[in-house]
Amino acid sequence: MRSYLWLLYLLCFHGLFGQTVADFENIDIAIDTFNNGSDGEGGFHSGDVFLPNEYDDAFGAWRGWAISTKRDTITSGFSNQYSAIDGKGASGTDTYAVGYAFDPITIHIASVSGPQIVDGLHLSNSTYTYLSLLNGDAFSKRFGGASGDEPDYLLITFKYYVDGTLGADSINFYLADFRAEDNSSDYIIDGWTYLDLGSFGTIDSLRCTMSSTDVGAFGINTPTFFCIDRVSTSGTTTRAETQNWRRTPISPNPTHGPIEIGNTGLISQLSIHNSAGHLLERHSYLPRNTTLDLQSYPAGTYHISYSSASIYYSGTVFRK
């Protein structure tokens, strides 16, 4: 009897406080290709996270996040911006995410159950960044300089939002660090490395900011591309929630304010985040084909996620 009760406890605990992993394998792209947001979807959903993307049709430029299966670990330069230096995902899988963070970018917690604990994630350099750090290029210096003695670094700083407020704590991760007096201690990250973020506690989103010792008149000279995979979260998330995401039917899109969320039944929970990852609204038990109004918010991109009849929806709307 005691063993039965303990098993029941474990099953309930896993259902209520289970850990989920965003490994991006649910995003269907061919091997050795990428999705940089040119499809206009505004981002990518995997597990309990949403990675926002902004794509400029006029210039074919993007910022935020892309999804990649590129495997080129040799070619230097901007043309190889979508490859991880490992040539694969963190567990030897095909798919991973590439961040472009000349300005800060965010990782949204997109669980309809609300904020989650981000236990950690795996990080690596992109091939473009790694080879630039190692050899220098037309725009960026070789780290350490010609002598190897220059105290260079390339750093990602993670901070977090709770209820739209930026937290005070931060966690640093060095993609390259040449600050040690002993040059043999200098390093450039050349493989997937796990970073524990659990000390942030329950959060709405993460903010990623890059800094470097190689800075010019227009900001960082060093390429600001890096890769992430296997973002692990825990909280009140069920296994079904991580497996049954569908695209949110939103109209009109773009909008000047009012939008209709088309669905087949009662909405159990609904969340709205802005492009910075701030949680703006959370609603429970909304009727079928409910209408929301974004008119009070500035022009920009907004992410909406909700659950209805054990199906989970996620999507992006553009406010004009």
216 and 253, same domain (yes or no): no
Find the CATH number of the domain harbouring 277. Answer: 2.60.40.2470
Whether residue 5 lies inside any domain: the answer is no
Local structure of 121: helix, strand or coil: strand
Whether residue 6 lies inside any domain: the answer is no
Whether residue 7 lies inside any domain: the answer is no
Identity of the amino acid at 269: Q
Q: pLDDT by residue (tens digit) across 25-48?
A: 999 999 999 999 999 888 999 998
Domain boundary among 183, 204, 234: 234
pLDDT score, position 300: 86
145 and 280, same domain (yes or no): no
208 and 107 Cβ atoms separated by less than 8 Å: yes
313 and 217, same domain (yes or no): no
Whether residue 22 lies inside any domain: the answer is yes
Longest dimension (CA), the chain: 71
Model confidence, pTM: 0.78
Residue 124 has pLDDT above 90, yes or no: yes
Pull the structure tokens for residue 297. Answer: 């918010």
Per-residue pLDDT band at 16 (split at 50, 70, 90) = very low
- Choose the weakest-confidence range: 181-195, 196-210, 244-258, 282-296: 244-258
230 and 260, same domain (yes or no): no
115 and 46, same domain (yes or no): yes
Bridge partners (DSSP) listed for residue 280: none
Percent of the chain with pLDDT over 90: 63
225-237 mean pLDDT: 87
Residue 150 has pLDDT above 60, yes or no: yes
- Choose the weakest-confidence range: 112-126, 269-283, 290-304: 269-283
143 and 248, same domain (yes or no): no
Task: Evaluate the CA torsion angle 196, 198, 199, 205 in order and state its sign.
Answer: positive
138 and 224, same domain (yes or no): yes
Per-residue pLDDT band at 267 (split at 50, 70, 90) = confident
Identity of the amino acid at 28: D
pLDDT score, position 236: 53
Pull the structure tokens for residue 149. Answer: 């003695």
Domain boundary among 180, 208, 234: 234
Residue 13 has pLDDT above 50, yes or no: no
Whether residue 314 lies inside any domain: the answer is yes
pLDDT score, position 264: 61
CA distance 40 to 254: 11
Find the CATH number of the domain harbouring 149. Answer: 2.60.120.1350
Report the number of distinct structural domains present in the chain: 2
18 and 239 Cβ atoms separated by less than 8 Å: yes
Q: Which string of DSSP letters, residue by residue, matches 228-289? A: EEEEEEESS--HHHHH-EEE--EESSSBSSEEEE--SS-EEEEEEEETT--EEEEEEEEPTT
173 and 118, same domain (yes or no): yes
140 and 230, same domain (yes or no): yes
Residue 237 has pLDDT above 70, yes or no: no
223 and 249, same domain (yes or no): no
Local structure of 313: helix, strand or coil: strand
273-280 mean pLDDT: 77
Nearest by Cα to 260 from 284, 291, 287, 281: 291
Question: Which range among 1-15, 178-192, 234-248 has the greatest average pLDDT?
Answer: 178-192
Residue 15 has pLDDT above 60, yes or no: no
Whether residue 11 lies inside any domain: the answer is no
175 and 277, same domain (yes or no): no
Local structure of 177: helix, strand or coil: strand
198 and 253, same domain (yes or no): no
52 and 275 Cβ atoms separated by less than 8 Å: yes
139 backbone dihedrals φ, ψ, rounded to 5°: -115, -20
Identity of the amino acid at 124: S
The residues, ordered by sequence, that sit 6+ positions from 16 with a Cβ below 8 Å of its Cβ are: 236
291-299 mean pLDDT: 92
- Residue-number span of the structural domain to which 201 is assigned: 16-234
Task: Evaluate the CA torsion angle 10, 12, 16, 21 in order and state its sign.
Answer: positive
